Amino acid sequence: IRAGRPRAERVTPDNYLRVLVPLRNIDDEPIQVLAQMEFLDGQRVALSDLTNRQVVQIPSGGTYHFEAMSRDPRAADFVLRLGWDK
């Protein structure tokens, strides 16, 4: 998997952070992974604001746009964790 350039924007009226990360399958076979995003404050401290782990299926050579929105207006950064879905 190759992660593309993330896009982040503030969503009004609550000032939440919405993030979209393109994930490209560079393999010649379809893959299935687990994805989870955690949001951090401006000091890169975890906010206890994270998504559920989600199963993501990406076809061979395809792109999946993973999108998540914070539930805390202090969110200023994020970490996207990917792992194999066994």
pLDDT for 21 equals: 98
Tokens found for residue 38: 């955690």
Q: What does the pLDDT average to over 49-67?
A: 96
Q: Using the predicted structure, report yes or no on whether residue 56 has a pLDDT greater than 90.
A: yes
Predicted confidence at residue 85, as pLDDT, reads 87
Residue 27 CB coordination number (10 Å):
11
Q: What is the mean pLDDT of the chain?
A: 95
Report pLDDT digits (tens) over 18-46: 999 999 999 999 999 999 999 999 999 99
Predicted confidence (pLDDT) at residue 86 exceeds the cutoff of 80: no
CB 46 within 8 A of CB 38: yes
